[in-house]
Structure 1
Amino acid sequence: MIPDHRENTNQSTTKAIATPALWRVLTMMMVLGLTLLALPLRAEEKIIHSHGISAFGDLKYEADFAHFDYVNPDAPKGGEFSTWTSGTFDSLSPYILKGNAAAMSSVFFDSLLTGNLDEPDAAYGLVAESLDYPESREWVVFHLRPEAVFSDGSRITAQDVMFSFNVLRDKGVPVYKVLLKDVQSVEALDSATVKFTFDPDGPLREMIMTVGGLPIFSAAYYADRDFSESSLEPPLGSGPYELLSVDPGRSVKYKRRDDYWAKDLNVNVGQNNFDVLTVEYYADYTSAFEAFKGGAYSYREEFLSLLWATGYDFPAIDKGWVKVETLPDGRPAGTQGWWFNLRRPIFADPKVRQAISMAFNFEWSNESLFYGLYERTDSFWENSDLQADGLPSEAELALLEPLRAFVPQSVFTEPAFVPEVSNPAKVADRKMLRQAGKLLEEAGWTVGDDGIRVNAKGEKLTIEMLNDSPSFERIFNPYVENLKRLGVEAIYNRVDNAQLQEREKKFEFDITVRRYSMSQTPGIELRGIFGSDAADAEGSSNIAGVKNEAVDALITAIENAKSREDLTTAVKALDRVLRAMHIWVPQWFKASHNIAYFDMYDRPYGDTPPKTSLGEMGLWWFNPDKYQALKDAGAIR
């Protein structure tokens, strides 16, 4: 998907990297072969043969279903979908540390399993026709479809699956080592059958879906290529799109493959409807908006409240050429904020972090800058039933009590942390700043002769706030001024996107902006975002550098939850602990999508999209009559 921009943070949405880039496709079950004779079986353990797998219970769709409920099975193919993103790119290699990969460059690759927009905790066979696994889920055998091929016509084999796992673990983004550490072995039982064996003490509930969601690469293709080197050469894949054209740093186009092997499989029915997917790159938010008004691209989701409130009154809207809509967003939505780099000694004391957080006046920002469009975020799972509230329940306490030595005591004595409400009438809320100042003094930071706080060693309390967005300055600047009033030598440093990405990869920052798209069924991906093993892995999603035994233990409890109820309890406990640690300055959210697009598309739903996605690139389709009307009117180029 295209990087998400919440109030123009210009930060890519960080998703669980272990989840598949392309969740699609299902077909009927394969007749069991002699390979089952080679499987080590426990006499008392039932072996399940299925077309899919669910984390907690039964699958919604039977093996012979015709299509997912939310698609239009008769959606026509054709046309172009174009949108935008910010920054730059110099690579088509999205799974490695080097380079900046182009948006959507994972579209080349299929995976063994695929999910859907109906079930947050289920996956169905894509490259894998079926799978066998014991009730314990300590291993899985995938049976590959004989018709599954790469774009050059070569068959996808178990050896390719093995190669893909090994190369991701050894040469991929370093966090793969963390996410895949509980895979004990991968074996090709024959060319069409691959077996994964897991650590019996690992997160067995979701390991099958984790390995099933990995992209599959051609071992032959990489025989004379270095996987770890970035490249603009279109890779050999098996997915529904191939590269049409690339203009490094400016635009990338993908063309739908007429010969895609899985185009008629039932979970692909009604999907992948556009002939061409185009992403245009812009240096800043304002130029991107002006380009949209001029018809340079056709679809835009708006994240800048100023523009949404004041900018959508241009002639193309008045003439009916551009449709403007607000649709509900059912995803957890509260993971955007300013993140502290806990690797910096200056942030070692949580009182310092809390004081810096208190200097941000959300209420004033919302009224003065955001036109009242947002609510304040307090949870890492905002807008969901996974959000902690009030004092911990008995079930939460059962998880938290053994971890008491590693968490703030406020977790047990106070309701889940919620940022204090500031005075919306004045950007500098003196009462709030006095409270923040008291926290800094308790942490050993006193005001020096020049008004800057210093510690006992005479070191100044200096922080750099990093960002790459010109439009975000209007939010940063009042915050920085409040920090200066507090005695913090705060510096706002706007850099270009390439520099920002490089510095974040190497954790060379004090405070940066980041948004995570959290799952409704959290699990192993949390290791990469909050786990200790990922804290110092270059390029990892643990941007804050969280290293905490209680956090690790609660992530394990989430991974091992046997029911949705147990999962919810464990996530609430983790949310409660993370909030008490003050690892970020939470920003804002809205439970809706603000979208605008040139009226040339149709979609299979009205005003109520699937909870997890609008599906604009996969479910929508091109209407040639509407397009021609726009073209005749001179609305588009």
Structure 2
Amino acid sequence: MSEKTIKVAGPMFDRRGALRVIGAGMASIGAGLKGTVALADDGDIVRSHGYSFYGDLKYPADYPHFDYVNPNAPKGGEITLSARGTFDGFNRFAWRGNPETDSGVVAEAMFAEMPWGGGAPADSITDSYCLIAREVEYPKDKTWCVFHMRDDVVFRDGSPLRAQDAAFTHNLFLEQGIRSYARAVQKRITGVEVIDDHTLRYTFADDISRRSLIGQVGGTPIFSEAWYQQTGERLDEPSVLSPMASGPYQVGDYEFNRYVVYERNPNYWGWDHPSNIGRHNFDRIRIEYFSDATAEFEAFKAGVYTFRTEGSTKRWATGYDFPAIERGDVVKEEITRGSAPNNSGIIFNTLRAPLDDRNVRHALSLAFNFEWTKESLQFDLTTQRNSFVQGQEWEAKGIPEGAELALLQSLGDVVPSEMLSETVVMPHTSKASTPIDRRNKRTALGLLQDAGWSVNDAGEMVDASGAQMSLDFLVLSSWDETRLASIDAFVKTLANWGIKVKADKVDSAQGQQRFLDKDYDLIHTRILTFAAAGTNMRQLFGGETAEVSSYNPSALRSPMVDAIIDAALASQTREDEITAMKALDRALRFERVIVHAGYVPESWVAYFDMYERPDNLPPYAIGVRDFWWINEEKHAALKASGALR
């Protein structure tokens, strides 16, 4: 189970495949969709308070707030969290440097979002609701869309946010933004037109799937054109300045590499917007930075920070026995989640030989012993992961049949025949008594021999020219000891097979740059999961942007995967979309680009007993920074007792 992941520059995606300032792929369709969009007088034109590709929305136009929030949640106080590593600026989209992880929270978009991660609302997969936009208008064929914007939105400096700023930001991302995003968008979004100060029109390319393009442009963060002109800042360059935007939080106090405080924006326009009711409840959100896992945990025990998400099985099993736990000052809790866990594990960079060979990847994956890792390093708390969308309706199982088989057959020669007749790729099993499983070693050596590798008299795995197989494993010094120990066991197994692996630890800044440059053969990180067919699929798994996409750490370039993504984007019903996503899961597992680590079905959290939350959490977010709140009486009692500083 991975604990921390390398910071990734550039915008991320929400569950719907739309561009988000921060986010992660989520993994399950929500309960039945209840509302419908409003039609304008022209029956071919939709004009609505939100967007769903399927033409219906859970929340009506007059919704007072999202169902899962406490609309009477008190405002105030501070929550303090932790991060590991360093940061040197606040431009989340810079291609160099090491920006603060959460620095994108200052921005908003036409549609509402969860600025600390994920899409809003957190109880539906397919819906987006207007925020900066008052209404969105589009024809049923989705060849264009128009955002009718609110006229009361202001940036944090009090200046008005206009359609010109949104158009400027769109073009800024094309000119200076992350390369894979710009390349994809330029082919699909053919124009942006400012109709007036509060009306903006996007046009989309012909002969492409337009299912997620409205969500994409509606999710693009909006920055101030005047601020960029006045400061001379660039989106692609590191900066100590926070971009001028309109969100509920802004950068307050900070000290590079030590802490940052995000505080309420005193000029925020949207506190009474229905999508914000019951949310953004803390006055301040403070993030303390630590160089290593031990210092980070000791600081939590001492009350230096007050909410912790635990990713170490060892600490969860053995570390929570300190006085604050025993006194009841700290709550330790396992929270059920409805989304699939992200795909953490050892990822192969397919740009580099010999990892461009699927059989070599298969062979090397056999060096990972999940059963031994689970029992020896993870206190038997993890579960073997089978799928990229573990536990979801669109997880591939068994031999393809029915609609999924028909889809795969329709794609022709790009789908290998064995994909049609064999069971979906499942993780190998190993003996738990030793890290090196002899049966898996024999299988691996056979696969490597078929790929042109053999063991010489010196015990080295060599190619036909006699050169030893040598691999570079990118490892960060800030990673948790359990992850480091599992990597060490994997590397030692490869050494036993005669493979040389360099796994020297680097700091987070160097690791960030090497990650973006794909300067590694192996890395233990994550690939986002998916729950809907959107433009994110191309950046996560598509060959078009594989070499430059920071969301595709394996640099996968598979005509089969590309064809399935095209089919998913062309689907017109949720049933067809689920069929395509099953096929995608099957294909990704066939490609063997990741050795899945174990996962924990619940989210493990620990926090000082002064935070409260709604009775019923939504299925797709814990939302501690979004819709939890502080109980000031409990906070005062903890301070008085000395449990907190």
For Structure 1 versus Structure 2, the TM-score category normalised by the shorter chain is over 0.9
Q: Which residue of 2 aligns with 1:487?
A: 498
Q: Which residue of 1 aligns with 2:276?
A: 268
C-alpha spacing 1:345/1:554, structure 2 compared with 1 (3 Å)? same
Q: Which residue of 2 aligns with 1:467?
A: 475
Deviation digits for residues 28-49 of structure 1 (CA, Å, limit 9, x no counterpart): xxx99xxx9xxxx9x9x61011
2:100 to 99, 102, 113: 102
1:16 to 1, 5, 13: 13
Unpaired runs of 5+ in structure 1?
1-5, 24-30
Conservation of the 8 A alpha-carbon contact between 2:74 and 2:630: yes
1:547 to 520, 539, 557: 557
Q: In structure 2, what residue type is equivalent to 1:280? A: E
Q: Residue 383 in 1 paired to residue 391 in 2?
A: yes
Q: In structure 2, what residue type is equivalent to 1:62? A: P
Q: Which residue of 2 aligns with 1:574?
A: 584
Q: Residue 624 in 1 paired to residue 644 in 2?
A: no
1:168 to 146, 166, 173: 173
1:319 to 298, 323, 327: 327
1:618 match: secondary structure: helix
Deviation digits for residues 164-202 of structure 1 (CA, Å, limit 9, x no counterpart): 100011101112214423001100011110000111322
1:375 match: secondary structure: coil
Shift of 1:489: 1.6
Q: Which residue of 2 aligns with 1:26?
A: none
Q: Which residue of 2 aligns with 1:133?
A: 138
Shift of 1:448: 1.0
Matches of 2:4 and 2:431, distance apart in 1 = 24
Deviation digits for residues 41-68 of structure 1 (CA, Å, limit 9, x no counterpart): 9x9x610110001122411111111111
Q: Which residue of 2 aligns with 1:62?
A: 60
1:597 match: secondary structure: strand
Conservation of the 8 A alpha-carbon contact between 1:386 and 1:568: yes
C-alpha spacing 1:375/1:178, structure 2 compared with 1 (3 Å)? farther
Q: Which residue of 1 aligns with 2:356?
A: 348
2:88 to 79, 83, 90: 90
Q: Which residue of 1 aligns with 2:50?
A: 52
Shift of 1:521: 2.0
Shift of 1:439: 0.8
Conservation of the 8 A alpha-carbon contact between 1:339 and 1:513: yes
Q: Residue 331 in 1 paired to residue 339 in 2?
A: yes
1:178-189 equivalence runs, <5 A: 178-180=183-185, 181-189=187-195
Q: Residue 149 in 1 paired to residue 154 in 2?
A: yes
Q: Residue 7 in 1 paired to residue 6 in 2?
A: no
Shift of 1:314: 0.6
Conservation of the 8 A alpha-carbon contact between 2:538 and 2:545: yes
Q: In structure 1, what residue type is equivalent to 2:13? A: A
C-alpha spacing 1:22/1:454, structure 2 compared with 1 (3 Å)? closer
When normalised by structure 2's length, the TM-score is: 0.92
2:613 to 595, 600, 603: 603
When normalised by structure 1's length, the TM-score is: 0.93
Conservation of the 8 A alpha-carbon contact between 1:301 and 1:593: yes
Deviation digits for residues 119-139 of structure 1 (CA, Å, limit 9, x no counterpart): 111101110000110111111
Conservation of the 8 A alpha-carbon contact between 2:96 and 2:513: no
1:106-255 equivalence runs, <5 A: 106-114=104-112, 115-180=120-185, 181-224=187-230, 225-227=232-234, 228-255=236-263
Matches of 1:242 and 1:465, distance apart in 2 = 37
Conservation of the 8 A alpha-carbon contact between 1:436 and 1:486: no
1:273 match: secondary structure: coil
Shift of 1:111: 0.2
Q: Which residue of 2 aligns with 1:3?
A: none
Shift of 1:401: 2.2
Q: Residue 496 in 1 paired to residue 507 in 2?
A: yes
Shift of 1:383: 2.5
Matches of 2:528 and 2:551, distance apart in 1 = 12
1:272-311 equivalence runs, <5 A: 272-311=280-319
Q: In structure 2, what residue type is equivalent to 1:439? A: L
Matches of 1:272 and 1:516, distance apart in 2 = 28
Unpaired runs of 5+ in structure 2?
24-37, 113-119
Matches of 1:347 and 1:368, distance apart in 2 = 29
Matches of 2:332 and 2:274, distance apart in 1 = 32
Q: In structure 2, what residue type is equivalent to 1:175? A: S
Conservation of the 8 A alpha-carbon contact between 2:7 and 2:101: no
Matches of 1:99 and 1:490, distance apart in 2 = 27
Deviation digits for residues 263-322 of structure 1 (CA, Å, limit 9, x no counterpart): 111110000000001111111111111111011100001010000000011110000110
Deviation digits for residues 380-431 of structure 1 (CA, Å, limit 9, x no counterpart): 1112112111111232223222444334433112111001111112221111
1:66-81 equivalence runs, <5 A: 66-81=64-79
Matches of 1:13 and 1:372, distance apart in 2 = 30
2:166 match: secondary structure: helix
Q: In structure 2, what residue type is equivalent to 1:580? A: F
Matches of 1:575 and 1:496, distance apart in 2 = 33
Deviation digits for residues 338-397 of structure 1 (CA, Å, limit 9, x no counterpart): 111111121122111101001100011101111111111121111211211111123222
2:636 match: secondary structure: helix
C-alpha spacing 1:269/1:22, structure 2 compared with 1 (3 Å)? farther
Deviation digits for residues 174-231 of structure 1 (CA, Å, limit 9, x no counterpart): 1221442300110001111000011132221111011000000111111132323221
Deviation digits for residues 608-628 of structure 1 (CA, Å, limit 9, x no counterpart): 521111010010011110001
1:522-541 equivalence runs, <5 A: 522-537=533-548, 540-541=550-551
Q: Which residue of 1 aligns with 2:404?
A: 396
C-alpha spacing 1:525/1:276, structure 2 compared with 1 (3 Å)? same
Conservation of the 8 A alpha-carbon contact between 1:470 and 1:494: no
Q: In structure 2, what residue type is equivalent to 1:526? A: M
Number of aligned positions between the proteins: 614
Identity %: 38
Conservation of the 8 A alpha-carbon contact between 2:107 and 2:221: yes
C-alpha spacing 1:118/1:470, structure 2 compared with 1 (3 Å)? closer
Deviation digits for residues 495-545 of structure 1 (CA, Å, limit 9, x no counterpart): 1111111111111100012213323224210111111121122x5212111
Q: What is the aligned-residue RMSD (CA, Å)?
A: 2.0
2:552 match: secondary structure: coil
Matches of 1:455 and 1:310, distance apart in 2 = 45
C-alpha spacing 1:22/1:306, structure 2 compared with 1 (3 Å)? closer
Matches of 2:254 and 2:97, distance apart in 1 = 15
Matches of 2:2 and 2:349, distance apart in 1 = 22
